[in-house]
Structure 1
Amino acid sequence: MNDLYSRHRQVMPDWLALYYDEPIEITHGEGRHVWDSAGNKYLDFFGGILTTMTAHALPEVTKAVSEQAGRIIHSSTLYLNRPMVELAERIAQVSGIPDARVFFTTSGTEANDTALLLATAYRRSNTVLAMRNSYHGRSFSTVGITGNRGWSPTSLSPLQTLYVHGGVRTRGPFAELDDRAFIDACVADLKDILGHTRPPAALIAEPIQGVGGFTSPPDGLYAAFREVLQEHGILWIADEVQTGWGRTGEHLWGWQAHAHSGPPDLVTFAKGIGNGTSIGGVIARAEIMNCLDANSISTFGGTQLTMAAGLANLTYLLEHDLQGNARRVGGLLIERLRAVAAQLPGVREVRGRGLMIGIELVKPGTDEADPRAAAAVLEAAREGGLLIGKGGGHNTSALRIAPPLSLTVAEAEEGAAILERALRSTY
């Protein structure tokens, strides 16, 4: 492993982060478990950054990929593609967007990049509203709208970005307000911004901020925003790259917690739909999707191999009600973790819903983020046989827990026990 790490450092960028003081190579997985090259077995509570959504080596997906690879792997969007059309039909059906059109990409970054292109072309404006503490990808345009300093390496951007409040409930100038007053204050902030600028193209927002540490506003905030946006003709882009496909348990889409104003104008997705294969995409009503007046194709977006995987994966998820499982098992897990947190002075908050849970760590007796402790817990959890992630705003001090949605109650209890030991060893 040390040899592979040395080789990695010789050919990969310095900014390509690796977890752990001694990075591990994951060689194979099954269900909710993975193994490293040294033979160590881990319970996977991060799923390749929320990407292994159903299970590792899910037989239905493996079979679909193998059979498709035996026929044809790729032809580009210049030719009719049956698996792409079939998956687009299923996605349009469950999207909640009327007269929906679907465009496939290879990643969430590219999906958000496409949504920004569509919105700015449709609205003829390069101004975009984004949330503070947000993350939307690593391309030039998506870095330019990311509201998280730790993931935005340049201030240069093709877009003018204006950041509004609301993505973080328990920090910032409105944190002490109750939910209704919090929403009112964020809406007032939005109205104030719109009074000082030319009308933006769109607001892009994650229903639950992923890289930001699984933070979220009170339910209904984006519905309240939507009412204001519609007065100005501004589009709403829901970034569902991490929240989509039932991960939050209560809904198939994160935006549905803010649904009384209707669906977003555009929804972006990726990660879990492919269960590890490279799928991203945009859903939009036809009027918006068809607004481009120049040629466009996708070489690898919608390729037959990934579409076969996505169709098998989505079918499995819906037929086995993994959304319901995320709600039930996730509810038990978050309550178990909250009981642990109540005994530890360094845990500021346990938050989230479904199987998307964040644990924010602070220096005991303060409200100051503690990235050192987060790194220590990450290491201790790995040593105990559990893989988790981390994130956060100004400092990476939130633990991110996002297992495959097929997680069992026994596995949730096992992971919680390992995490409890890791937290207690740190504090």
Structure 2
Amino acid sequence: MDKADGRATGPKVVLGVSGGIAAYKACELLRRLTESGHDVRVVPTDASLHFVGAATWSALSGNPVSAEVWESVHEVPHVRIGQSADLVVVAPATADMLAKAAHGLADDLLTNTLLTARCPVVFAPAMHTEMWEHPATRENVATLRRRGAVVIEPAVGRLTGVDTGKGRLPDPDEIFEVCRRVLARGATAPDLAGRHVVISAGGTREPLDPVRYLGNRSSGKQGYALARTAVARGARVTLVEANTGLPDPAGADVVRVGTAVQLREAVLKAAADADVVVMAAAVADFRPAAYATGKIKKKDGQEPAAVELVRNPDVLAEIAAERGKPGQLVVGFAAETDDVLANGREKLRRKGCDLLVVNEVGERKTFGSEENEAVVLDIDGGETPVPYGPKEALADTVWDLVTSRLG
């Protein structure tokens, strides 16, 4: 609901903007926040105002904008802004800002706000690869995460000038999704902080010839929901995606694959140091025994030759049997069309995973939908039904069960 003057009365969000070229992208994040009903106060640094001026931030947010602690002193802004916030998000967060936040420096309004905030804090870093990989920055990030802040991993892509690498600000829409999930969890601490989780998503495609393949209907949306919720809960996320076409979730390291064999190689490599592996991808059980180097032609008067199939590797069973590290948890997914729970129980026993998410699928069920309904089975015999609803709700249930087992 809005006030009579049209200003938002939703959750109070502080958008901190530090001095990097990616500051202009924060305008889009601000738009997403305000249009979804959040009351946003922008707190830029002096350096950031070289990229985007205060007038722009004020016009887009509908709130006053200042980088100084000496303006409106009677309102004690260096204390009040942080105290009243439901969320502080810093985007972009430069190496300098991460260092100041980690060491408790307070030389402007934004750093004072970070010190006084008792709400969840999200940092979306953006900098050159060398700066992100520097030991000082890595230690500062580790410090902030230990204290409960959510520090999103930067994206890989084009940086300032001709450089390309890790350090690009994630897509503002995806940063917004992280903020939305963090707000939904309230003051709950990021319970996956310090954990590395590997998630597979999408559906593999097994090539028959240069233009045809054997595939399935999986969209990857459930796997992406698992990735987004894990990031919001503080995890380091590796997402192995197969043929989804979806935008990269902010904070996830994305590895793209096509076939079941490629997915197996990527998951095994990523799982070597993972605390949790979630196999949400629909991995093809079979692939053509032979690949035609040229397009298979239709010939008049002739029936097509039979396509011989061979088994693909059972990635879930392999991961469950050969855990990458002691105590690693493995979560599988089972898409069933009949005898759902009975088949799920049998699959859980056969695969050897700790949890199995079982759902009924079909042409108009689950695949491609924004909603899902499932039962999560555990190796000890428990069943956790998840009613029909958003896929992120199922994702949060899975992580709740995982964190309870991780202790």
TM over 0.5: no
The structure with the largest strand share of the pair is 2
TM-score (norm 1): 0.26
Report the structure number with the largest CA radius of gyration: 2
TM-score (normalizing by structure 2): 0.27
Higher relative contact order (CA 8 A, sep 6+): 1
